[in-house]
Amino acid sequence: MNAPITSLLGEAIVALLLLAGSFFMIVGSFGLLRLPTLMQRLHAPTKATTLGVGGILIASMLYFVFETGRLSVHELLITLFLFLTAPVTAYMLAKAHLHRARAERELPPTGRPVGWATFDPGEGSDRSDDGSRPGR
């Protein structure tokens, strides 16, 4: 480290945020490796995406604030982009999994009177049973 850090408190905050972000990164990847079913595996990397990368990006932002004295906000751009795209990605992966597992008849029961939402449309929906839109 050749860059001077002015305050010890700032250094401690940056190191703590780095440790927290790294912890959540490894927890997310470990969950992706060890959890038994895909729906549970889908849950683990969201921690890595939001808390892990978020912590490391805030640490980077604070580090450059303490080093140069100027606020740099373009790390927030990556955080905002990841926060916006993580639900879309999880939704697309879950829907792809549901449609592929339905072909193999291995979906678990929903535990409710209605089925999975992408196959069992509610009242007033104009979608057909197989999840495709009418006219296709």
Partner 1 sequence: MIAIALGIGFAAVGFGTVFCLIRLALGPDAVDRALALDTLVVNAVALIMLLGIAQATAIHFEAALLIAMLGFVGTVAFCKFMLRGDVIE
Q: Are 61 and 76 in contact (CB under 8 A)?
A: yes
Q: Does 65 bind partner 1 (CB under 8 A)?
A: no
Distances (CA, A) of 56 to 24, 46, 90: 10, 15, 22
Give the separation between CA 37 and CA 134, rounded to whole angstroms.
32
| 86: its two tokens | 């993580």
Q: Does 116 bind partner 1 (CB under 8 A)?
A: no
| 92: its two tokens | 């697309």
Q: Does 48 bind partner 1 (CB under 8 A)?
A: yes
Q: Which stretch binds partner 1 (CB under 8 A): 83-91, 109-117, 122-130?
A: 83-91
Q: Are 79 and 54 in contact (CB under 8 A)?
A: yes
* Site of interaction with partner 1 (CB under 8 A): 1-3, 5, 11-12, 14-16, 18-19, 21-23, 25-26, 28-30, 32-33, 38, 41-42, 45, 48-49, 52-53, 56-57, 59-60, 63-64, 67, 72, 74-75, 77-78, 81-82, 85, 88-89, 92-93, 95-97, 99-100
